[in-house]
Amino acid sequence: MSEPITLNVGGKLYTTSLSTLTSFPDSMLGAMFSGKMPTKKDSQGHCFIDRDGKIFRYILNFLRTSHLDLPEDFQEMGLLRREADFYQIQPLIEALQEKEVELSKAEKNAMLNISLDQKTQTVHFTVREAPQIYSLSSSNMEVFSAHIFSTSCLFLKLLGSKLYYCFNGNLSSISSYLQDPNHLTLDWVASVEGLPEEEYTKQNLKRLWVVPDNKQINSFQVFVEEMLKIAVSDGFCIDSSHPHTSDFMNNKIIRLIRYK
């Protein structure tokens, strides 16, 4: 048995053996630890690799077992694929390709369920009428909530590329609000006439936009229309058995299905 080797990958330490690191001689790691490529050291003398430290655990496990083991809710396939390309581990690249084909087949049949809620809320704000002269004003504001569940994680990722929150003068993808790979809750408000822009930020009010159309969603009707466009483009169709026509027309529940 060779002496343990400690690696510093992007600030995260891993300890393994020389035989593991050289298990695929044609890879970059195989070249590094067989003396064919120079290595860098950190201040502690550990071999330093300036790559993603968290994702390296999957690289290292593959070197140890020659088998790709990923958690069921793994969401960083693209990053892992790029790291496999960087380390030039061809068997891992091929295993990832097979895994992506497997996931694609599993994603073909899917269900999408959207529950909608809307309420009217009074918002109070100050309006500057002249230097050092302010008046208190109020207005009714429409507040929307959508609870989205899909058995297709990829569809929710697709939504993240289409729907953006507008807050504090910036647009940010809704992807960061995913509760888990299959659930997403959206809360937003319609624009309020006369409400100063800074009040949206001060009162933590987010508005919802569709990109790249740069279209603001100010009503449930517009939201439903945009959701249907996105879902239909991804192969979904309306479930004829649910919801009831009255629910669908009242924008309470939407259920779509996809069979491929």
Strand, helix or coil at 186?
Answer: strand
pTM of the model: 0.59
Domain boundary among 106, 126, 154: 106
Q: DSSP states of 93-140 as a string? A: HHHHHHHHHHHHHHHHSEEEEEEEEEEEEEEEEEEEEETTEEEEEEEE
Contact 95, 63 (CB under 8 A): no
Looking at the structure, tell me whether residues 124 and 253 fall in a common domain. yes
Looking at the structure, tell me whether residues 228 and 155 fall in a common domain. yes
CATH code of the domain containing 37: 3.30.710.10
Looking at the structure, tell me whether residues 126 and 199 fall in a common domain. yes
Tell me the pLDDT tens digit for each residue of 4-62: 999 999 999 999 999 999 999 999 999 999 988 888 999 999 999 999 999 999 999 99
Tell me the pLDDT tens digit for each residue of 105-162: 666 788 999 999 999 999 887 777 777 777 788 889 999 999 999 988 888 988 989 9
Domain that holds residue 158: 109-259
